[in-house]
A and B are shown apart, each in its own frame.
Chain A
């Protein structure tokens, strides 16, 4: 039975990758289990300058998920490279995916350039879909022309494959994916969180300090699956699927929709062993569904 997959020429032992922002820089989870079981790790979103993020509260409960408005809290790319990645590498022997956010094209290009010499990173995930950063982030992810120009600029300076992380908060997800592919993106990851809000009915005020945040969790899985399906049908570069994936069955369903690899997000927050459990269950579910090789099922729903 084969759970190995290939992403940008790298062999991952399985398609399961913790999603950016739900796994820190990996080492927190190394206290709970041997994180070497993971296919890779998408690191906490990093920006050129350090960021505190949004005021508290940043979290709200939702049916089948949560809203977060962390706001890209991170120590800045330099510290990520000098401190966080080496700390992570003490526990993880595989290659990592760096995740980069920004407010301007220059923010992105200067941050991405810093990872060029970072051997532990095999790909850069470009976060053009963070709903929680004022005046930036998602602005690049809702207009195909803006996204195209950003990806062109980043591809010019990057020596690593670029995975563009798309926002579901758009009318036409396929147009966004195609714009990125045409600009030279090496892959597409989707979906980021859906914009949402909750109100405290006792006070009548929003729970989240900045009013709105990103909704994630099992509730968004059908939306994510549909978008992965549409994008995988339309582009010829690899698609990494995410959004509410919580079980080995979800991983397989996401791959059948067209994902070459699958990221696990919110599930890590309520179940620290989520990724480990999913990876251990994957061969069991494959056997049950008579799947010998995961690569055979990528896009099975439309092929």
Chain B
């Protein structure tokens, strides 16, 4: 954990109720880790996964879900945030040669940095991105530059008609490990289909650094805090 000030470089809409915020500050983040922003007029910090990190520059993708994220859309260039950075654990990509990245909705965010990690290692990842419908798609072009992308939409308005787990079952994508982030219901279905992967979980957090036990889940290894032992867990260990 590191407490720093981060300055907003840009904050733009990238899709339906979905925004990209780029910040700069003195921190080093690895795929899977998250940060917590102290928003004005909100008590609790807000946790965000890291969609891209490079050279002290951080990209967040966020969906407007409540008052906090709604306020965030108004934030402009030069705004300084108090940030807790370098929180949580990381994806384990050691010995992975055929990665499959599976994201649902705003859950695609941490997978973008991961796809870049693989690209930098000379590995083109297969990626399945799931959205409710065509209008809610975002960041697809960015992913296409570095990965093989398959799209699934719940209503069939673009790509595969159905959710990402159904899409995976119908596809013949070969992989030695998957990495997934998205709604709990998606992760649960995925874990019951295959335990050959890692899940990045989301939770309402109190502190974000292991103090309050507000985000504890049950795993085969005992109680685990999403913010501290996670947010990345082996699919085989999460008890849904």
A residues sitting closer than 8 Å to B (CB atoms) are 21-24, 28-29, 31-32, 44, 52-53, 56-66, 68, 70, 73, 207, 217-218, 266, 268-270, 272-273
Contacts and interface: CB of A to CB of B under 8 A. Distances in A.
What 9 pairs across the A-B complex have the smallest Cβ distances?
Answer: A269-B207, A59-B214, A57-B204, A73-B213, A59-B204, A59-B206, A28-B210, A58-B214, A70-B213
Interface bin, chain B? 20 to 34
Nearest to B82: A271
B146 to A, nearest CB: 33
B214 A22 contact: no
A282 B34 CA distance: 33
Contacts of B42: 61
B84 interface: yes
Given A56-B203, A59-B206, A207-B204, 6 more contacts: A21-B212, A53-B216, A59-B212, A217-B43, A269-B211, A270-B43
Interface in B55-77: 68
Interface of B: 1, 3, 38, 42-45, 68, 84, 203-207, 209-218, 223, 228
Nearest to B212: A269
30 contacts: A21-B212, A28-B211, A44-B213, A52-B216, A53-B216, A56-B203, A56-B204, A56-B217, A57-B203, A58-B204, A58-B206, A59-B205, A59-B214, A59-B215, A60-B204, A61-B68, A63-B43, A65-B43, A68-B212, A68-B214, A70-B213, A73-B216, A73-B223, A217-B43, A218-B43, A268-B211, A269-B207, A269-B212, A272-B1, A272-B209
Chain A interface main SS type = loop
Given A270-B38, A270-B45, A272-B1, A53 B211 contact: no
Given A22-B212, A68-B212, A61 B44 contact: yes
A144 to B, nearest CB: 31
A269 B206 contact: yes
Contacts, number: 86
A120 to B, nearest CB: 20
Contacts of A66: 43-44, 206
A66 B204 CA distance: 11
Given A52-B218, A73-B223, A62 B206 contact: no
A189 B224 CA distance: 30
Contact of A24 (B1, B68, B211): B211
Contacts of B214: 58-59, 68, 70
Contacts of A29: 211
A18 to B, nearest CB: 9
Contacts of A218: 43
B84 A272 contact: yes
Q: Tell which of B68, B204, B210, B228 has the most Cβ of chain A within 10 Å.
A: B204
